[in-house]
């Protein structure tokens, strides 16, 4: 099972006890007053626009398409309309970019274009058929409006989202491998127990099976002790979750030298599960296992050095430990190395190296690496811009339920980039993204109904999706 935000058993506890920094973000126990002040400043500056701004801005664009021998009029109309929309979006994007720069927002070109598409409404379309050099031509003049007040409100909302969700996103990345690792550890140790006690690897334990396992653990069987620790830790196989019992059985197995139990015990100290949170103790236990070559411990120790958890921040040490785990095919370590090079955390930014590590993690099914790899292809970083490959990696990540990938895949289907333009598929992925917590998908859906993209224009539905987006924030 792969951990996803909102479903992990630790999330509520972690939100109240832990946030952390990455390369300059200070680690704190609760949201500092300055964070609140920052949010209020953004709202004050952007939501209350100066009176000199007009309420709306009108943009026009004209494009002429020369029909080939095999072009139908409908194909020509669609292509001409797309190009006219692109020109209007470029104009609207200039305004949005200026607002974002004045307010120090870090919006990439593709984000600006997507944002412009979301707040723009097509008001008038005029078509004119002509002839040029013996060929029929189709000219479309497009008139669209952008509500500047809405632009400023949406920019403010987006920036507030970024500020308030920043720590949460980092936490999710930090924790995403924990449940998968425990699942792997369970698979590694259940076989020896099942061979002696007939314990099923999938169904809930019967009372007889549980009693046999517990009896083995009490008699000192280290595998049984570790198994009980995992069962109580995860609350699986019909065993109620009990962090204190999990810690006690991990401790018994750890006293017999079991490296897996020591690692899990370290994770419990790291996140305050069944024991008072103690990052120093967590680092000690995990480091003892890391030097024995357990990839999960090597990776976790590397992350601890990168984020400064239980040890002074040291990107060099962090990278070294992550590489040890990555060379043992640990996909989470490979993802983190890709992230380090992608964002230039303690090393010069290197998209080629980022792509190399993302590819290795993505090939093993890591949904975050798949998404990040898709982003590199879509932005042309570390490789030529390639929307076909971007779409493939977004698709893989989307099928695992990752909302950001679903939003990006919806964008590609909407624009016809790397895939055949398909508004129905675009709407499908926007809905999936919104269902999985990506509130910006509501803006996209609202714009589709407002502009009649693949559907009949429907102001009521456009309003509904916009309100849905706000309700989800």
C-alpha distances (whole Å) from 7 to each of 3, 268, 410 are: 7, 18, 24
Contact 267, 243 (CB under 8 A): no
Query: Which has the closest alpha carbon to 293: 261, 264, 321, 256?
Result: 321
DSSP string over 408-459: HHHHHHHHTSSS---HHHHHHHHHHHHHTT-THHHHHHHHHHHHTSSS---H
Contact in structure between 430 and 460 (CB atoms under 8 Å): no
As a whole number of angstroms, the distance between CA 303 and CA 22 comes to 10
CATH dotted code for 56-164: 3.30.1660
Q: What would the pLDDT profile of 323-352 be if each residue is shown by its tens digit?
A: 999 999 999 999 999 999 999 988 899 999
DSSP state of 384: -
The closest of 94, 119, 159 to 446, measured between CA atoms, is 119
| Beta strand segments in 43-150, E | 56-66, 120-132, 135-147
pTM exceeding 0.85: no
Which residues of the chain have a pLDDT value below 70? Answer: 1-55, 69-71, 93-120, 133, 147-202, 465-473
Task: Tell me the per-residue pLDDT of 24-50, one tens digit each, with 9 for 90 and over.
Answer: 332 322 333 334 444 443 334 333 343
Q: In what order do the strands lie in the sheet with 135-147?
A: 56-66, 135-147, 120-132
Domain residues of the chain, as ranges?
56-164
List the end-to-end C-alpha distance of the chain, in Å, as a whole number.
Answer: 27
Distance (Å, whole) CA 389 – CA 376? 10
Convert 239-294 into a string of H (helix), E (strand) and C (coil).
Answer: CCCCHHHHHHHHHHHHHCCCHHHHHHHHHHHHHCCCCCCCHHHHHHHHHHHHCCCC
Q: Are 294 and 259 in contact (CB under 8 A)?
A: yes
């Amino acid at each position: 099972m792969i951990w996803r935000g909102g479903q992990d058993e630790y999330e509520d506890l972690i939100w109240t006890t832990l946030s952390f920094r990455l390369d300059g973000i200070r680690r704190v126990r609760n949201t500092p007053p300055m964070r609140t002040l920052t949010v209020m400043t953004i709202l004050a500056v952007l939501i209350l626009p100066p009176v000199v701004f007009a309420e709306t801005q009108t943009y026009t664009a004209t494009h002429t398409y020369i029909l080939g021998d095999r072009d139908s009029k409908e194909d020509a109309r669609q292509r001409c309309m797309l190009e006219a929309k692109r020109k209007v979006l470029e104009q609207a994007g200039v305004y949005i970019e200026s607002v974002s720069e004045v307010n120090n927002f870090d919006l990439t070109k593709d984000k600006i274009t997507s944002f412009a598409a979301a707040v723009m409404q097509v008001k008038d379309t005029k078509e004119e058929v002509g002839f040029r050099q013996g060929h029929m031509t189709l000219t479309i003049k497009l008139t669209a409006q952008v509500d500047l007040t809405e632009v400023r409100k949406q920019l403010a909302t987006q920036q507030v989202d970024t500020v308030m969700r920043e720590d949460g996103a980092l936490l999710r990345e930090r924790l995403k491998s924990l449940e998968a690792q425990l699942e792997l550890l369970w698979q590694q140790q259940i076989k020896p127990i099942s061979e002696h006690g007939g314990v099923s690897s999938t169904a809930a334990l019967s009372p007889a099976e549980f009693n046999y396992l517990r009896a083995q653990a009490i008699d000192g069987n280290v595998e049984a002790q570790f198994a009980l620790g995992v069962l109580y830790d995860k609350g699986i196989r019909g065993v109620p979750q009990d962090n204190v019992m999990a810690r006690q059985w991990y401790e018994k197995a750890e006293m017999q030298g079991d490296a897996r139990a020591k690692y899990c015990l370290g994770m419990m100290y790291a996140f305050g599960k069944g024991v008072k949170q103690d990052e120093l103790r967590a680092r000690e236990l995990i480091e003892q296992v890391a030097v024995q070559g357990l990839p999960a411990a090597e990776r976790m120790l590397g992350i601890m050095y990168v984020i400064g958890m239980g040890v002074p921040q040291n990107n060099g040490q962090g990278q070294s430990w992550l590489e040890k785990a990555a060379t043992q095919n640990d996909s989470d370590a490979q993802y983190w190395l890709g992230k380090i090079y992608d964002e230039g955390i303690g090393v010069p930014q290197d998209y080629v190296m980022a792509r190399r590590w993302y590819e290795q993690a993505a090939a093993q099914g890591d949904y975050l690496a798949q998404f990040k790899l898709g982003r590199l292809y879509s932005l042309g970083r570390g490789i030529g811009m390639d929307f076909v490959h971007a779409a493939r990696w977004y698709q893989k990540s989307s099928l695992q339920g990752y909302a950001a990938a679903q939003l990006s895949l919806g964008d590609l289907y909407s624009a016809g980039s790397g895939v055949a333009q398909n508004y129905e598929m675009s709407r499908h992925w926007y809905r999936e993204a919104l269902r999985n917590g990506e509130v910006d998908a509501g803006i996209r859906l609202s714009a589709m109904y407002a502009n009649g993209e693949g559907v009949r224009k429907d102001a009521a539905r456009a309003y509904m999706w916009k309100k849905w987006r706000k309700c989800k924030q």
